Structure 1
Amino acid sequence: MSDLAPFVAAALKDKVVAELLEENRRLKRQVDSFQRVRITGKNGFPVYAEHDFALGKPTDHGWWVVRLPTAATTVSPLVEPIPCPMSQLADCEVHVGNFRNMTCRDFQDCFFDGNPKGYFSLFATKGLWLCCYLDGVSDPHYRALCRAAATQETVHEILRTHFDDPMEDLNVYFTHLTFCGGSASEAIRHLELLPEQPHAHAQEDASL
């Protein structure tokens, strides 16, 4: 048995190392998941677009822009982006980390003015801009969308009641998700990227 001891020890060491490496990979996948923003269908499936929050860019206004990869961009996708049918847009969900932030029907405003044809933006008062591209929309349909956005009070009404059958067959691509003001800090807290506040320890020490 003593002659086999070195071989047994080496085998056990290899097994421990392999298990540690696998645990490290699992933890890295978990951390990566916490740092992602996703646009998904209802109940989180399918995933239409996904990117790492930390790879976003700041703007001059102090906002944080996460550019979502599409077939027309050079951003390397974490998942292969797929188009969302226009008829399903209202049920799409915005996920920040492992939190479902809101659905598209919950956005308060829809903007077409000032955008190139096909592009439009959904805005939420909590500080989120979701920029979209409606692929293959005709000029008459696009003008109808602009009129609807100017007259309807809610995004839900626009998305649900102002599309005829041909437009429901069009596809939407998600291009940018912008965090304005406090929404960026909220997202960072959800993604666990903020360091612990130093005054927390001071308060604890003071209470002792």
Structure 2
Amino acid sequence: MSDSKKKDPQDPQIKESPVTYEIYAEMPDDGNRYEIADGQLELMSPGPNPYHQILLSELNRKIIDDCSNDYMIFFAPLDVILSDIEVRQPDLIMVHRSRLHIISNRGIEGAPDLVVEISSEFSLRRDKVQKTKAYAKYGIPEYWVIDMTNYTLEQYILHDRAYELVELYSGDERITSEKLQCVSFTMNDLMKDLSKLSN
């Protein structure tokens, strides 16, 4: 196909056509981050603020310290290719070492063992509604949403292709997982550096 006939996935005239991973991968870098949600290209929220990054860094450190013997741990930006028309970039991803075959040079191709989203006021609805449906549809067994508006962690477990909110953690309540038995930390552990910053 000549350059003059190539379709721009952001052209409003072709929004009816599903965006596939191949189209997404060939897009020029425009400085923004995108996901594919059921064949639709979605612009992600504004770049994460320092509070988000501190929380993600501390979460990543805790998970690596506790779980790296059994799991590979990744953090955004990294594509989780759930299907040709569903590509997401969770904040943190865990893949058991017995399932390393789903890791490729394109990203994670299939359902990780855990995905985590750190939600802000800009992404709360997407993380708690849209992504909950998508991650359940593609069989990710456990999903955490860390809500930065109240510093809680919502733990969702997959049952019959739908998530059940099984626990809500805050403060010094120890976060554990029946599936991910290496996990053991509190929200206060993650927030220790945040408390040193002024709002």
**TM-score, scaled to structure 2:** 0.26
Bigger helix share: 1
Q: Which has the larger radius of gyration?
A: 1
**TM-score, scaled to structure 1:** 0.25
Highest RCO, 1 vs 2 (Cα 8 Å, sep ≥ 6): 1
